[in-house]
Amino acid sequence: VGEVWRLGDLARWVGGRVQGDPGRPIARVATLERAGPDDLAFLTNVKYRAQAERTRAGAILAAPGIEVPGHDLLLVDEPYLALAEILDRMHPPTRPAAGISPDARVATTASVGLEASVDAFAVIGDGATVGDRAVVGAGAYVGAGCTVGPETTLHPRVVLYPGTEVGARCIVHSGAVLGADGFGFATSGGAHRKVPQLGRVVVEDDVEIGANTTVDRGMLGETRIGRGSKLDDLVMIAHGVVVGPGALLAAQTGIAGSTRAGRNLTMAGQSGVIGHLTLGDGVIVAAKTAVFQDLEAGAFVAGIPAVDHRSWKRSQSLVRRLADMRAELHDLARRIADLEGKTEGTT
Amino acid sequence: VGEVWRLGDLARWVGGRVQGDPGRPIARVATLERAGPDDLAFLTNVKYRAQAERTRAGAILAAPGIEVPGHDLLLVDEPYLALAEILDRMHPPTRPAAGISPDARVATTASVGLEASVDAFAVIGDGATVGDRAVVGAGAYVGAGCTVGPETTLHPRVVLYPGTEVGARCIVHSGAVLGADGFGFATSGGAHRKVPQLGRVVVEDDVEIGANTTVDRGMLGETRIGRGSKLDDLVMIAHGVVVGPGALLAAQTGIAGSTRAGRNLTMAGQSGVIGHLTLGDGVIVAAKTAVFQDLEAGAFVAGIPAVDHRSWKRSQSLVRRLADMRAELHDLARRIADLEGKTEGTT
Amino acid sequence: VGEVWRLGDLARWVGGRVQGDPGRPIARVATLERAGPDDLAFLTNVKYRAQAERTRAGAILAAPGIEVPGHDLLLVDEPYLALAEILDRMHPPTRPAAGISPDARVATTASVGLEASVDAFAVIGDGATVGDRAVVGAGAYVGAGCTVGPETTLHPRVVLYPGTEVGARCIVHSGAVLGADGFGFATSGGAHRKVPQLGRVVVEDDVEIGANTTVDRGMLGETRIGRGSKLDDLVMIAHGVVVGPGALLAAQTGIAGSTRAGRNLTMAGQSGVIGHLTLGDGVIVAAKTAVFQDLEAGAFVAGIPAVDHRSWKRSQSLVRRLADMRAELHDLARRIADLEGKTEGTT
């Protein structure tokens, strides 16, 4: 009973080219594995080439140059980007009904924008500002003096400590905590005295922050997540870090205090960067890596400690051959002893 | 004032054998370190053999073959399993009182089963179904269209995004977030466009999910946690992952998008698996490991990147002897130079 | 319009010495980068020496022996500790207004101390005790039988499972979960049976626990966080662990079940310790390290598996030179073959 489109419509949406029947009806998008004759599947990762051969999908979205016999194709230069466009058109995002739940507690000095939605058990503190068409989910906490930009969504149970600023069109997932105290202690005689954390967190526009991720406030200044950055779940950004714009931080990554990253930092899962470093633009950090030194723009690093990823690969492959090297070393030692014996004899 | 059992009663519960006095009164179970004469202690890990020698416990639960002079023993083939049975009998789990708190908000189109309990400030969305004898803790959020199976417990502050399905007899600990958007972005010209995440999370029966763990929804299809899987705290399961049945994922582990694991995957703490992999049944991943490749059934791997755990141990032990190898190499080089000098001389 | 102090006042607060003009007005503390002529900046990390040369700050807080021409200096032996004192004096911490929100749910059998503050949507269970001047943030959950010490702050959305004990003057950040079930399962025939987790969590006085950190309850006994310990965000402490006093655990670290650490354990980010170990006093664990063995007091370890940090550094530097070693090995093999050829010829 859903809407049905023609393959040619989809091609028009994304500036693509149909190879096959542009009139083919498309009911939905599905994975290669699950798609049926009315579905558009997509081949955006070469790992799934074999699945494409046997898919029952009516049509396949792919990059030019791909051939999948027996299937209509929708060819476009950036198929993953096209997929986003097609899905957005087929499933326009919905917003919850505007209005403030009678079960929310909004301070009289707070301001909630036009068509904003504040769900049950949310708390909005003194002097906080929630922008137009913003969504504050159930049980979310917006501390005193916070700013939530227009069209931003705070999912249920997000916590913004007082003074946190979140830009426009951001998405903050459940359980994320922005603005908790940075981890700053002065240790003297074995005791750790708390250093007051008086700064704040600033999240620029178009940022997405994953579930249960934590971004701590600066000690005095800001912790800043630059425009268009995307943080996955369970990421940790410590006090005073500046990251972005355009950072892409996968799950369970962490950046320690005061480190500053340039544009488009990419960190794969479970990697980390220690504090007080400077990373140039476009740095890529492989999964599980630990960065202990400043990095030039464009660096692609791996390992603990992080080194150029090709060096790391070479080292790791050599580590795997250490037993051979050791055997060869023993063999050479034996042969040298032999030679020494003979040479001894000859002189 | 608690109930008191006889050691022989306990033996009957678990099909074990008493070596000593079956009439010995047992008031409770305690650790070897803290147990007194009325307590049953347990020796399920050989590391604690020395503690068993000096425990004040009246009786010790252990596997056949163990001898601890001066103590009555309860011997059973699977003592840790027996411990679970004994504790369950001594401390039958309690359920909170049935009923919906007047401070919960349950949508009129939601359905809450018989004898279910919904605590204060919980929210149950449109069309959601909560099974019989299920428990929805304080401040938990059950989004629209979710299903919570019978006898499942959602502890306080759990969040289920809309459409999440949780089976029967599951336990989801506080702060866990199921169904947040997967981390999917199409990057073009340095900007990251969100790819709509339209799938859902399915948690099968008898699953336990730890505190602050996150399981993201599939992009189009499902993220699925198979029957009887147990996830510890702060675990991350990305979109489209299929894991289980019977997975055992320790704290701070992560599995990246679209990876599929067979039965009984075991991951030790802080290990990770990258996306788009296939892992066979019974794979074991050691602590801190990073799996970058498909694994056969029964593989036991360690290291970054993961290799067979014996190879990893051997490599690591060789790495620790690298300084010796290097010294030996220098020694050989010197001796060769000597030989070359002499040979030069002799020819 | 804020208060203004004299540099000499600050020196008196911290027992420091002014080098320059004690009458210089100081309006606030700021980073070297952002400070202006009325600000006190601080140089507590030598990495920022160059920034100190160009700061616009009126005065700089530093250790004796530092010279920064053109700036008044406030010299004190422990400048980071002095910074804490100065910030506390300039910005005395504020507490929310005392009283119980009408939107909180406090059991009739619970006890809330004098001047304590309980915010909206907080839940305090049967028989729980909240100390004088304690703060229970919005939506926090204090389970039945919990104890929250005087002057302790639970930030919004903290969860204390039933029976958890938190001492005096603690700070627990949002999303932290204390007392969830330990990860204990008895596996038999591929099925994992839950072992009841009947113990509890005890947090001693003056502890700080970061956002979304989890501390699980003991199986039978306690999980204990010793006095004055500081845990960062997303840390995992498993059942039965005893850590502290004075532990300092950075973000995303984890300690597995039943491990016992001595005083002043320091763990850098993303490091881990497996279960059932004993760590002596003053152990230091480097970032990303995995500790697989007991450690003596004073050990400073790094690597996976953890070894003495100097050995680890040496090994890592040798690993990076493996390609050279391999080349040298080939060269020696060639030269030996040459020698063998010649020796063959001569004998």
- Report yes or no: C333 at the A interface, CB cutoff 8 Å: yes
CA dihedral A157, A163, A166, A167 (to 10 degrees): 150
State residue B205's pLDDT score.
98
Average pLDDT over residues B95-110: 97
Classify each residue of B266-282 as buried b or exposed e, where b means 16 or more C-beta atoms within 10 Å of its C-beta. Answer: bbbbbbbbbbebebeeb
What distances in angstroms separate CA A136 from CA A151, A200, B196, one per listed residue?
10, 20, 20
8 Å CB contact of B181 and A171: yes
Query: What is the pTM (predicted TM-score) of this model?
Result: 0.96
| A vs C: CB pairs below 8 A | 190
| H/E segment holding residue C344 | helix C322-346
173-192 of C, contacting B, C-beta below 8 A: 175, 177, 180-181, 183, 185-188, 190-192
- Report yes or no: A223 at the C interface, CB cutoff 8 Å: no
Q: Give how far B326 is from chain A: nearest CA, Å.
A: 10
8 Å CB contact of A347 and B346: yes
Q: Amino acid identity, residue A165?
A: E
What distances in angstroms separate CA B188 from CA A82, A232, A281, B276, C328, one per listed residue?
11, 19, 16, 22, 46
- Report yes or no: B217 at the C interface, CB cutoff 8 Å: no
For the residues of A245-267, what is the DSSP string, one character each? Answer: SS-EE-TT-EE-TT-EE-TT-EE
Q: State the DSSP code for A295.
A: B
8 Å CB contact of B251 and C238: yes
Q: Strands (DSSP E) along B93-154, which ranges?
A: 99-100, 105-106, 111-112, 117-118, 123-124, 129-130, 135-136, 141-142, 147-148, 153-154
Q: Which residues of A touch C243 (CB under 8 A)?
A: none
How far, in Å, CA of A70 to CA of B335, rounded?
69
139-168 of B, contacting C, C-beta below 8 A: 139, 155-157
- Report yes or no: A248 at the B interface, CB cutoff 8 Å: yes
Across all residues in chain B, what is the average pLDDT?
95
At A56, is the secondary structure helix, strand, or coil? coil
For the cut 80, the answer to whether the pLDDT of residue B344 exceeds it is no
Nearest to A214 among C80, C212, C246 (CB): C212
85-104 of B, contacting C, C-beta below 8 A: 87-88, 91, 93, 103
Classify each residue of C147-178 as buried b or exposed e, where b means 16 or more C-beta atoms within 10 Å of its C-beta. Answer: bbbbbbbbbbbbbbbbbbbbbbbbbbbbbbbb
Q: State the DSSP code for B295.
A: B
What residues contact B295, with CB distance under 8 A and at least 6 apart? B277, B278, B279, B280, B283, B301, B306
Q: Which residues of C touch A344 (CB under 8 A)?
A: none
Can you give the pLDDT of all 347 residues of chain C as single tens digits? Answer: 578 899 999 999 999 999 999 999 999 999 999 999 999 999 988 888 888 989 999 999 999 988 888 899 999 999 999 999 999 999 998 889 999 999 999 999 999 999 999 999 999 999 999 999 999 999 999 999 999 999 999 999 999 999 999 999 999 999 999 999 999 999 999 999 999 999 999 999 999 999 999 999 999 999 999 999 999 999 999 999 999 999 999 999 999 999 999 999 999 999 999 999 999 999 999 999 999 999 999 999 999 999 999 999 999 999 999 999 999 999 999 999 999 888 776 55
Nearest to B256 among A29, A88, A269 (CB): A269
For the cut 70, the answer to whether the pLDDT of residue B345 exceeds it is no
Mutate to test the interface with B, among A233, A236, A265 (most CBs of B within 10 A): A233
Phi and psi angles of residue A6, each rounded to the nearest 5 degrees, phi first:
-105, 150
Can you give the pLDDT of all 347 residues of chain A as single tens digits? Answer: 578 899 999 999 999 999 999 999 999 999 999 999 999 999 988 888 889 989 999 999 999 988 888 899 999 999 999 999 999 999 998 889 999 999 999 999 999 999 999 999 999 999 999 999 999 999 999 999 999 999 999 999 999 999 999 999 999 999 999 999 999 999 999 899 999 999 999 999 999 999 999 999 999 999 999 999 999 999 999 999 999 999 999 999 999 999 999 999 999 999 999 999 999 999 999 999 999 999 999 999 999 999 999 999 999 999 999 999 999 999 999 999 999 888 776 55
Tracing tokens 């957005």 back to the chain, one arrives at A88
Of B291, B292, B259, nearest to B275 by C-alpha is: B259
Q: Which two tokens stand for residue C64?
A: 């004796």
Tell me which of B71, B239, B309, B330 is the catalytic residue.
Answer: B239
- Report yes or no: C297 at the A interface, CB cutoff 8 Å: no
State residue A68's pLDDT score.
87
Which pLDDT band holds residue B249 (cuts at 50, 70, 90)? very high
State residue B68's pLDDT score.
87
Nearest to B121 among A139, A250, A287 (CB): A139
Instruction: Please identify every residue of C annotated as catalytic.
Output: 239
Q: Decide if the complex's ipTM is over 0.90.
A: yes
8 Å CB contact of C230 and A105: no
Average pLDDT over residues B228-232: 98
Tracing tokens 């306990």 back to the chain, one arrives at B10
- Report yes or no: C211 at the A interface, CB cutoff 8 Å: yes
How far, in Å, CA of B215 to CA of B201, rounded?
7
Q: Which two tokens stand for residue C236?
A: 């995992």
Nearest to C105 among B120, B210, B252 (CB): B120
| H/E segment holding residue B11 | helix B7-14
CA dihedral A167, A171, A176, A177 (to 10 degrees): 10
Chain C residue with CA closest to A138: the answer is: C139
Q: Which two tokens stand for residue C234?
A: 């997303």
| H/E segment holding residue B254 | strand B254-255
State residue A69's pLDDT score.
87
Q: Determine contact, residues C201/B96, Cβ cutoff 8 Å.
A: no
Q: Determine contact, residues B50/B70, Cβ cutoff 8 Å.
A: no
For the cut 70, the answer to whether the pLDDT of residue B141 exceeds it is yes
8 Å CB contact of C34 and A325: no
B222 exposure class (CB count in 10 Å sphere: 0-12, 13-18, 19+) = middle
For the residues of B206-243, what is the DSSP string, one character each? Answer: T-EE-TT-EEEPPSSSEEEE-TT-EE-TT-EE-TT-EE
